[in-house]
């Protein structure tokens, strides 16, 4: 049986989850990452994607995040999301609106580095939209 640890998912609007969990899969910028008890200390950035949480009870919950940071310690993990909602509350219209806003932000951007970051964000949102539509 896996050890449990404390996981908190926080957005600027609210605390979405603070529970004992057995594992969490987060969309880290460098790739999907599974966090379990006694994980090596790590801090990583989060890209738009789905966070899958397996509660100590065995129940699985999913949340959609739109960027942020995760702080992982052997005793717990805190994910500070730029924006997050339970998967059940996300609609195709919400993602389409974010994709349209990202496209508008790209118009007229001249600074190469800023343009690259916006293009990457748009690609991640588009990928997330494809994943959620397929699910």
DSSP for 110-131, please give it.
--HHHHHHHHHHHHHHHHHHHH
pLDDT category at 119 given cuts 50, 70, 90 is: confident
Q: What percent of the chain has pLDDT over 90?
A: 59
Q: Which helix (H) or strand (E) holds 13?
A: none
Q: Which of 84, 103, 122 is the last residue of a domain?
A: 84
Q: Give me the CATH number covering residue 38.
A: 2.60.15.10
Q: According to the model, what pLDDT value does residue 135 have?
A: 56
- On whether both 66 and 108 belong to a single domain, the answer is no
Query: Is the same domain home to 69 and 109?
Result: no
Q: Structural domain of residue 111, as residue ranges? A: 90-132
Indicate the number of domains in the chain: 2
Provide CB contacts within 8 A for 22, sequence distance 6+: 2, 3, 4, 36, 37, 54, 55, 56, 58
**pLDDT tens for each residue of 58-115:** 999 999 999 999 999 999 999 999 999 998 888 878 888 888 888 888 787 778 887 7
């Amino acid at each position: 049986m896996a050890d449990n640890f404390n996981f908190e998912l926080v957005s600027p609007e609210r605390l979405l989850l603070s529970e004992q969990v057995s594992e969490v899969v987060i969309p880290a910028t460098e790739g999907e990452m599974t966090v379990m008890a006694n994980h090596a200390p790590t801090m990583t950035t989060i890209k738009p994607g789905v966070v899958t949480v397996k509660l100590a009870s065995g129940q699985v919950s999913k949340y959609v995040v739109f960027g942020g940071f995760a702080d992982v310690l052997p005793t717990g993990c805190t994910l500070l999301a730029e924006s997050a909602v339970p998967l059940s509350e996300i609609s195709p219209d919400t993602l389409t609106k974010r994709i349209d806003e990202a496209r508008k932000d790209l118009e007229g951007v001249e600074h190469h580095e800023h343009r690259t970051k916006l293009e990457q964000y748009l690609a991640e949102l588009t990928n997330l939209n494809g994943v959620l539509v397929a699910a």
